[in-house]
Structure 1
Amino acid sequence: MSLLIREASAMAFRLCHPLRCSSFSPVHVRKSILARKFSVRNQILEPIESQKLVMEIKEKLERDHLSLPLGKNGRDDEDMILWFLKDRKFSVEDAVTKLTKAIKWRQEFGVSELSKESVESIAETGKAYVHDFLDVNDRPVLIVVASKHFPATQDPTENEKLCVFLIEKALSELPAGKEQILGIFDLRGFGPENADIKFLTFLFDIFYYYYPKRLGEVLFVDAPFVFQPIWQLVKPLLKSYASLVRFCSADTVRKEYFTEETLPMDFRN
């Protein structure tokens, strides 16, 4: 790293020497060097350095949060620690804070206890499922059929369990080297009786806090006019995830996201 900084300093001096570039002051040179230094730091983090940060977090969690569980998705899960480090731009303190919250949530929600049998009754409604095939970008696909969601008569707790179970299932189907999933909200036939701002907020909240950067894109398919005021209410609550949303048609889904063989049955007509 020090070699890179020395080279950056030499380059900045050559480019901005008074005889060559009188418009640059020493202040500009110093700023250029600092910018280059931080650019290198943010873009390239050696595996050895990353591992040191992972071990630092493991030790900190063991020291300060001994009650947190061990094992997969626990306080000693190095893959999970590294993922949250990347999400928090390699800030140890920020990663520890977010990671601790995520592990506690998983424990309290009972994520490890969710199974196909435990969500079977709500899953039979067909309101949400993980598609059998990947999209053209090799992403697992989570599909929500909004017209089958009835918040007035369906148990919200069961809805949340199904949601988390399907997210876990989609992530378990990630191909090697892939990190994100595609979410599709099929809004065809959506009506006021299907509106559920609380659940939509819950969905994006868990992606933000507990599955950061796992959602690559969200498609809102054939959104009717009645959905627009709901979107205007929810959009400010979604934070950075609002930028992942794309309003599109069912035809766009067919042509841009799947092949004829991998197209979901709901989009074949």
Structure 2
Amino acid sequence: MTESPSVPPLEPPKKSLVSSLMEAAAASVLQSSSSFREDTYFVKRLKLSEKKALQEFKDLLTNDESSSSPMSLWGVPLLGGDEKADVILLKFLRARDFHVSQAHSMLLKSIQWRKEFGVEGIADEDLGFADLEGVVAFMHGIDRLGHPVCYNAYGVFKDREVFDRVFGDDEKLKRFLRWRVQVMERGVGMLQFKPGGVNSIIQVTDLKDMPKRELRMASSQILALFQDNYPEMVARKVFVNVPWYFSMLYSMFSPFLTQRTKSKFVIAKEANVAEVLYKFIRPEYVPVQYGGLSRPGDLEKGQPRAASEFSVKGGERVNLEIDGIELGATITWDIVVGGWEVEYGAEYVPAAENSYTVVIEKTRRMAAGDAPIHNSYVSREAGKMVISVDNTVSRRKKVAAYRYFVRKLST
């Protein structure tokens, strides 16, 4: 049930020059992202020129293999003649717009880099960054299409002590780059390399508190490594908590990016992180720090319980009702609103007319950054639960998600 009280119309807030520039940059990136189409990797769907390029690529590799050991990437023999090999070869061709000689050179350089860098077996290597696991770069869940999601957040490095410990000299920087490659390899290890399958990951990069000057060298090297050695491995790049200087960062790195890479970009300012992420990732897979329901360790317990999504318009109050609860049943629920800044409360309404409503959680203001609500209640009478979300003092629509489980009294 939704109550929409009448509220006086609100004048749109005036935009500052910085805000206007940010929105212009965002519109530009979002517009370009809509043109991106991920390859299906079905050979039969390729253009004749692309099929010809694939065969020429294989012929070149056959000549290379005649005087060396069989070539393989991510455990897939490149001339095995199967569809997995075709997917990988097509990734290199796509990265070079189907210029065979350029794709061939890129592949050979990548294989050489993997040998020199010692990539094989790196996924299980202990590099001493346990404190950065789950904070700076980590795989977490999947998107709505099944792509593994990799989160990147560098705000921890605003602490000079942490920064010096990780990037204090060339050796430390090399070890960090090795760790970052390790995270990427774990993500690639989750891919199917199958036509029509899951063949790329989603990257979510959190720019909040990122010390842009200090991390310029590390960022440039990570970008170069991934572009040169992991072609077409990223289906979408989502930037969240984008600061006002995003346009400057974008212009700094833009010359090093291909047009196809730029077409994958989507950005979200701090106020609409959850709204943007929900478009690509279900809320039960979105980490709590980004407005989702997924707490650390949740996914290790198995597939999460699905959540229901809803929105709360500016000036609106929404009541979520859980009906048909029996005597002695236990109701457990989770709820989150992207960005919060709403009033939240919960009560139990007995079915009997002469019974009193029980206030389970007093109405309180939920601030931005608050964790999702997780609570439970044991019913003393048959009735219903009512969870309220009040957004009447806000102009902005908020995205939200909730889920619940009712366990009946055992007999």
The alignment's TM-score, normalised by the length of structure 2, stands at 0.48
Q: Distance in 1 between matches of 2:121 and 2:70?
A: 14
SS at match of 1:118: coil
Q: Is the 8 A contact 2:74 2:189 kept in 1?
A: no
- For residues 85-133 of structure 1, give each alpha carbon's deviation from its aligned partner in whole angstroms, at most 9, with x where no partner exists: 44445544222211111100111111113133423x22422211111x1
Residue of structure 1 equivalent to 2:266 = 246
Residue of structure 2 equivalent to 1:216 = 235
Residue of structure 2 equivalent to 1:172 = 189
Residue of structure 2 equivalent to 1:233 = 252
Q: 1:192 to 1:138 in 2, by over 3 A?
A: same
Q: Is the 8 A contact 2:123 2:185 kept in 1?
A: no
Structure 1 residue corresponding to 2:281, chosen from 250, 258, 261: 258
Residue of structure 2 equivalent to 1:124 = 131
Residue of structure 1 equivalent to 2:48 = 41
Residue of structure 2 equivalent to 1:16 = none
Residue of structure 2 equivalent to 1:59 = 62
Q: Is the 8 A contact 2:144 2:280 kept in 1?
A: yes
Q: 1:196 to 1:58 in 2, by over 3 A?
A: same
Q: Is the 8 A contact 1:223 1:247 kept in 2?
A: yes
Q: Is the 8 A contact 2:239 2:268 kept in 1?
A: yes
Q: Distance in 2 between matches of 1:242 and 1:217?
A: 10
Superposition map of 1:101-140 within 5 A? 101-119=109-127, 121-125=128-132, 126-131=135-140, 133-140=141-148
Counterpart code for 2:237: V
Q: Distance in 2 between matches of 1:61 and 1:191?
A: 44
SS at match of 2:257: helix
The alignment's TM-score, normalised by the length of structure 1, stands at 0.70
2:153 matched to 1:145? yes
Q: Is the 8 A contact 1:58 1:76 kept in 2?
A: no
Q: 1:40 to 1:69 in 2, by over 3 A?
A: closer
Identity fraction in percent: 21
Q: 1:105 to 1:74 in 2, by over 3 A?
A: farther
- For residues 20-72 of structure 1, give each alpha carbon's deviation from its aligned partner in whole angstroms, at most 9, with x where no partner exists: xxxxxxxxxxxxxxxxxxx95236x28xx84x4454123221257x3x77444
Task: Note the residue ranges of structure 2 that are not aligned, 5 or more in a row.
Answer: 1-45, 80-84, 167-171, 292-370, 372-411
Structure 1 residue corresponding to 2:218, chosen from 199, 208, 212: 199
Q: Distance in 1 between matches of 2:204 and 2:266?
A: 10
SS at match of 1:111: coil
**Distance apart, 1:75 and its partner CA:** 10
Larger of the two Rg values belongs to structure = 2
- For residues 161-215 of structure 1, give each alpha carbon's deviation from its aligned partner in whole angstroms, at most 9, with x where no partner exists: 121111111111125512221111112233457x411222222222321111111
Q: Is the 8 A contact 2:150 2:204 kept in 1?
A: yes
Q: How many residues align?
A: 222
Q: Is the 8 A contact 2:106 2:228 kept in 1?
A: yes
CA RMSD of aligned residues (A): 3.0
Task: Note the residue ranges of structure 1 that are not aligned, 5 or more in a row.
Answer: 1-38
Higher deviation after alignment, 248-257 or 80-89: 80-89
Higher RCO (C-alpha 8 Å, min separation 6): 2
Q: 1:253 to 1:156 in 2, by over 3 A?
A: farther
Q: Which has the higher strand share?
A: 2
Higher deviation after alignment, 242-251 or 196-205: 242-251
Q: Distance in 2 between matches of 1:88 and 1:192?
A: 29
**Distance apart, 1:74 and its partner CA:** 8.4
Q: Distance in 1 between matches of 2:94 and 2:265?
A: 22
Counterpart code for 2:283: E
Counterpart code for 1:262: Y
Counterpart code for 1:242: K
Q: 1:153 to 1:62 in 2, by over 3 A?
A: same
2:199 matched to 1:190? no
Higher deviation after alignment, 246-255 or 213-222: 246-255
Q: Distance in 2 between matches of 1:99 and 1:59?
A: 13
Counterpart code for 2:48: R
SS at match of 1:153: helix
Q: Which has the higher helix share?
A: 1
Q: Distance in 2 between matches of 1:186 and 1:159?
A: 18
Higher deviation after alignment, 179-188 or 84-93: 84-93
Q: Is the 8 A contact 2:93 2:100 kept in 1?
A: yes
Q: Is the 8 A contact 1:74 1:103 kept in 2?
A: no
Q: Distance in 2 between matches of 1:74 and 1:81?
A: 14
